[in-house]
Amino acid sequence: MAAETVSSFYISCALGFEETVAAEIRRAWPLMIEINGQPNQSPLPEMTLGTGGVLVQAPMALGLQLNFFLKTAHRVLWRLAEFKVRDFPKLFEKIQKIPWGNFLNGPGIDWQIAASKSRLNNEKRIEEVCTEAFAKVASKIQGAAKTKQTVYVRIHDDLCSVSLDSSGEHLHKRGWGLLKGEAPLRETLAAYMIMEMMEGAPATKTQQVTFVDPMCGSGTLVLEAASLWQPVFDRAYAFLEWKNAPKIFKSPLLKKNYKLIPETAPFKTYWGFDIDGAVVKAARENLATFESKLEVKNLKVRFENENLFDGEKKTLGPVWCLANPPYGERLHVEGQEEFSYQALIQKMADKFSAEKIGVLLPNKNIVKNLKAPEGYKKQKDLAFSNGGLEVLFLLFIRK
């Protein structure tokens, strides 16, 4: 496919993250490369924000690169076809006419079907028809693909969209968070909170700040903050097995073509600590994997076994504190019989004199009524879902 050909890509994301994904695309666009390896000269793409995703009109080579750069997206889906359909014969015809042999490198497909408010609403039958239609052309598709490709068929109000997943594994899997604690935070959610903390702050400011996670678990927040500006190349993306995938993306020297990627991390230093020594060990092992995959200059990260509620006040210079405490569990604070989110937030303020304090908490009435720590004011409260649980991200800034 010619580089100038504009394709439609649907970037799926968590509900409420659409604006953040669009902002990420705008930031990443000038950092990308053309199919010849030169810096991207294409204008910003046309974007349409939906519910749970963003539709992007972009050249193939640029649309596929969104996989490398987007930190809050779930998947990048390449739109193969879109058509009105109200009966199965037409669905069969449309699926069969898609030029599968132009991009599939093998006859295997995993169908993902969803239908709502449409004449065709039997998802099992829709999948059967798609499978039967594809079987008519599958014998002509030659290749040595190692895995099946995933095709998403969505029918809503009788409008059918057929999309090929270019991402493979969910994009929150960066390739270094291999060891997890009991209730891990998805990297996409971690990135979202960090971006919300950084909103409006210039790089010259954040690069003077120490990023602290006092309940670091296996290190997700710290490592996400350290890698926020770095694209993720070292991963098995589904599009790398497509026939029409630009060859440059399969080159072992791909990274060297990206001349405009920031060489340093967003923050000056990173410190994560946790009361659980086992998860600190996991965080250190994840850091070792992280450092083997990314080249970040002057990166300073440390993970330690420590209790937030023990010890004296820390003097670290400008500090931003971000924490994801365990939900529904009690944190035993000396002098208190019961868990207190208020005490948790106040302790972060007292111990670090943090300029900003972010915390992810269960979205319950008691949490909504939390007061800002003394000397602080609430800047943001953002609700979203974490693994099916409704949560609230609270951000406080020092007055």
Strands 149-156 and 389-398: unpaired
- Report the pLDDT value the prediction gives residue 183, as an integer from 0 to 100: 67
Distance CA 71, CA 147 (A): 24
pLDDT in tens, the chain (399 residues): 344 689 999 999 999 999 999 999 999 999 999 999 999 999 999 999 999 999 999 999 999 999 999 999 999 999 999 999 999 999 999 999 999 999 999 878 999 999 999 999 999 999 999 999 999 999 888 877 778 999 999 999 999 999 999 999 999 999 998 877 666 899 999 999 999 999 999 999 999 999 999 999 999 999 999 999 999 999 999 999 999 999 999 999 999 999 999 999 999 999 999 999 999 999 999 999 999 999 899 999 999 999 999 988 888 899 999 999 987 543 444 544 445 888 999 999 999 999 999 999 987 776 767 899 999 999 999 999 887 888 999 999 999
Token pair 């193969």 in the structure block, residue = 80
Identify whether the C-beta of residue 359 lies closer than 8 Å to the C-beta of residue 349: no
- Report the pLDDT value the prediction gives residue 2, as an integer from 0 to 100: 43
Helix and strand numbers (H, E) in the chain are 10, 14
Closest by CA position to 214, among listed 333, 290, 318, 309: 309
Burial of 151 (0-12, 13-18, 19+ CB in 10 A): buried
Sorted by where each starts, the structural domains of the chain and their CATH numbers stand as 6-165 (3.30.2130.30), 187-229+264-398 (3.40.50.150)
What residues pair up with 268 in beta bridges, in sequence order?
none
Q: Where are the beta strands (DSSP E) in 92-165?
A: 109-116, 149-156, 159-165
What residues pair up with 56 in beta bridges, in sequence order?
9, 47
Residue 201: which residues within 8 A CB-CB, separation 6 or more? none
Identify whether the C-beta of residue 379 lies closer than 8 Å to the C-beta of residue 395: yes
Burial of 217 (0-12, 13-18, 19+ CB in 10 A): buried
Closest by CA position to 303, among listed 226, 396, 380: 226
Distance CA 338, CA 74 (A): 37
Distance CA 286, CA 359 (A): 22
What residues pair up with 272 in beta bridges, in sequence order?
213, 303
Between 187-198 and 18-28, two packed helices, what is the crossing angle to 10 degrees?
80
- Report the pLDDT value the prediction gives residue 362, as an integer from 0 to 100: 84
Distance CA 290, CA 394 (A): 28
CA distances from 97 to 10, 85, 130, 316, 393 (A): 21, 14, 11, 63, 47
